[in-house]
Structure 1
Amino acid sequence: MTGNQPKHKKDLTRRKVVVAGAGAVAAVGVGGAVVATASAGEKKKGAATPTSSSSTAEECYKLTSETTEGPYYIDADKLRQDITEDKEGIPLTLRLKVIDSENCKPIRNAAVDVWHCDALGLYSGYESFSQGGGGSAPTDAPSGTPTGEPPSGAPTDGTGGGGGGGGHQEPTSDTRYLRGTWKTDKNGIVTFKTVFPGWYQGRCVHIHTKVHVSGEWTDAGYEGGNTCHTGQFFFDEESVLASAEVEPYSTSTTERTTLDEDTIYDQSGVQGGLLKLKYKKNDIAKGVTATITVGVDPDATHTGTEDSAQPGASASAD
């Protein structure tokens, strides 16, 4: 919300979404350029591997992996589907389907948050934690320089907070690009328009998400309920390598962490948040469509700040 820095709320069971600005909802889609499929990468044996011909049961027989919230979450500051604002990058349509993993039914009217860094690895609200530009993206610490020296007050290890989040950091600016919240429809589907994320030191390319249920949509936004899922979505190596050939991604000199090297992705394919991608072969710049079915337990509470982090997750990772 322009001019004000929203206060982070640790207790997400008593949360409220405030509609910002004019509240205009932009049309979603990247046009007819998205015509070819890309490999979704290797899947761990036994993991859920939904395809267009899969039954609903096949898509939801396992819960989607829970992950850390990370230090850069801002509680539902923008109620919108188009989160791009003026950020440059490859157009990305993110289409999520939220289902109850117990009965495989779609969950309607859930509030879904998404947030991610821009093409050069910067998070809105936290630009002061990095120098930005063509080669100085933030680390998971986050870092103020490519050498890893953290600025004052930045989390450097697990001592800053519980649950692998590295301790929540209060926003240092009122920018809110590449962040948004919207509700699922009667089929459990929600779609966001954004850009393909970039990368920064220590993490592979990813998008953060939260799913809130059992609350109420009002004229003011979304109130109450519980956060039943906190996770991250991941991109296969083929697509990331293709994006790295396109400006402004190609101007980054930050060393990239691969999907296999990442400390948050659990290598379980779709169950772990690996997106199914579709784009024009050899011309990813035209746009990408990313889809995934997210299996949740609507009665659970997973804020991503719990004391026990996912095995192998870095305590300071975002």
Structure 2
Amino acid sequence: MMGNQTAEGPKHKKDLTRRKVVVAGAGAAVAVGVGGTLAAGAFAGEKSAAGTTASASGSASETCYKLTSETTEGPYYIDADKLRKDITEDQEGIPLTLRLKVIDSETCKPIRNAAVDIWHCNALGVYSGYEDMGSGGGGGGGTPPSGEPTGEPPSGEPSGGPGGGGGVHQEPTDDERYLRGTWRTDRNGTVEFRTVFPGWYQGRCVHIHTKVHVSGTWTDAGYEGGNTCHTGQFFFDEESVLASAEVAPYSTNTTTRTTLDEDTIYSDNGTEGGLLKLKYRKNGIAKGVVATITMGVDPEATHDGTDDAVQPGASASAS
């Protein structure tokens, strides 16, 4: 089952804590990189883009800090994704290894067996499950992006593309589920996903959505019960986005790009706000990127991202 919504309304609106995920088939394809070569090679030996092996358990320098910023869930969350670590399917793009760690922000202890969701658009700004929404012009002729800021902050009501969907959940328009997945944290509170570097669409900077669910039960069918203790987004620095814009298929995305500073959701507070630490070879981003971040959460809280989770001064209209 691919998790289509029924006429009764979005499942997560009826039961925010119930998680039903489907085990992915073993035949899922890896991302296809530049020039049509398989991206799987970029992950060989679990090496980072800089050529060094990154630690999945983080470093001793980690300290307890404020709660990671809560944000809007956005309109394109589907509460019936696949239980898998590799979410690329057949999507082309720069290989991305996303290494996440979940800790209790008060005790700094790792949270094990949490269910972590991630979902994001593809290189041309399209979300699976919502392909009819388009990408606000991605890949459709015109002049390739220059990488320069637009000069004008987004209005909060961008026209066309996923950005125009607002913060209210929308029903899926198709059965595609690429670049979506759920996996559990290990005893160190870590989880790793393999995907592709996200593209952009009108009104938003480059980002990845995430949810963290705790206190539930893992079953043969997936994850059930518990509470959603964190809903957030991960962000990419401008240097990496500019570098990605030079690589196909990102270079064919003609949608006006919103910069990190212009974005209405990013709270401009670094790691606490979801800014990823990135590693990749200089002038060689096409070979792959390793992104890491530690999320400080309150396991006893409930943050489903459907109400007032957006940072002060931000707008939920472009999500």
Relative to the length of structure 2, the TM-score reads 0.82
From the superposition, tell whether residues 218 and 33 of structure 1 become closer, same or farther in structure 2 (CA, over 3 Å): closer
Matches for 1:60-75 after TM superposition, within 5 Å: 60-75=64-79
Query: Residue 34 of structure 1 aligns to which amino acid in structure 2?
Result: A
From the superposition, tell whether residues 53 and 20 of structure 1 become closer, same or farther in structure 2 (CA, over 3 Å): closer
From the superposition, tell whether residues 144 and 117 of structure 1 become closer, same or farther in structure 2 (CA, over 3 Å): same
From the superposition, tell whether residues 25 and 144 of structure 1 become closer, same or farther in structure 2 (CA, over 3 Å): closer
Equivalent residue, structure 1, for 2:49: 34
Matches for 1:179-194 after TM superposition, within 5 Å: 179-194=180-195
| Residues 102, 297 of structure 1: 8 Å contact kept | yes
Matches for 1:212-291 after TM superposition, within 5 Å: 212-291=213-292
Question: What is the number of residues matched between the two proteins?
Answer: 286
| Residues 140, 203 of structure 1: 8 Å contact kept | no
* Offset, 1:18: 2.8
| Residues 5, 173 of structure 1: 8 Å contact kept | no
| Residues 114, 181 of structure 1: 8 Å contact kept | yes
* Offset, 1:134: 0.7
Equivalent residue, structure 2, for 1:81: 85
* Offset, 1:220: 1.1
Q: Distance in 2 between matches of 1:72 and 1:200?
A: 13
* Offset, 1:114: 0.1
Q: Distance in 1 between matches of 2:254 and 2:272?
A: 31
Q: Among 121, 128, 137, which residue is 1:124 paired with? A: 128
Paired residue secondary structure (1:210):
strand
Q: Distance in 2 between matches of 1:290 and 1:109?
A: 21
Matches for 1:44-193 after TM superposition, within 5 Å: 55-56=61-62, 58=63, 60-130=64-134, 133-135=138-140, 143-144=159-160, 155=166, 165=167, 167-193=168-194
| Residues 8, 170 of structure 1: 8 Å contact kept | no
| Residues 130, 142 of structure 1: 8 Å contact kept | no
| Cα distance per residue 1:222-279 (max 9 Å; x no partner) | 0000000000000001100000000000011111111111110000000000000000
Q: Distance in 1 between matches of 2:104 and 2:24?
A: 33
Identity of aligned residues (%): 73
Equivalent residue, structure 2, for 1:313: 314
From the superposition, tell whether residues 266 and 109 of structure 1 become closer, same or farther in structure 2 (CA, over 3 Å): same
Query: Residue 81 of structure 1 aligns to which amino acid in structure 2?
Result: K
From the superposition, tell whether residues 237 and 21 of structure 1 become closer, same or farther in structure 2 (CA, over 3 Å): closer
Q: Distance in 1 between matches of 2:81 and 2:312?
A: 30
Paired residue secondary structure (2:181):
strand
Q: Distance in 2 between matches of 1:229 and 1:145?
A: 26
* Offset, 1:53: 5.8
| Cα distance per residue 1:69-128 (max 9 Å; x no partner) | 000000141111100000000000000000000000000000000000000000000111
| Residues 30, 288 of structure 1: 8 Å contact kept | no
From the superposition, tell whether residues 15 and 286 of structure 1 become closer, same or farther in structure 2 (CA, over 3 Å): same
From the superposition, tell whether residues 180 and 53 of structure 1 become closer, same or farther in structure 2 (CA, over 3 Å): closer
| Residues 90, 288 of structure 1: 8 Å contact kept | yes
| Residues 95, 287 of structure 2: 8 Å contact kept | yes
Q: Distance in 2 between matches of 1:79 and 1:110?
A: 13
Q: Distance in 2 between matches of 1:282 and 1:309?
A: 35
* Offset, 1:26: 8.9
Query: Residue 245 of structure 2 aligns to which amino acid in structure 1?
Result: A
From the superposition, tell whether residues 53 and 309 of structure 1 become closer, same or farther in structure 2 (CA, over 3 Å): closer
| Residues 79, 181 of structure 1: 8 Å contact kept | yes
| Residues 13, 225 of structure 1: 8 Å contact kept | no
Paired residue secondary structure (1:239):
helix
| Cα distance per residue 1:49-82 (max 9 Å; x no partner) | xxx76533x2x32110000000000014111110
* Offset, 1:177: 0.4
| Cα distance per residue 1:169-218 (max 9 Å; x no partner) | 01000000000000000000000000000001111100000000000001
Q: Distance in 2 between matches of 1:122 and 1:291?
A: 24
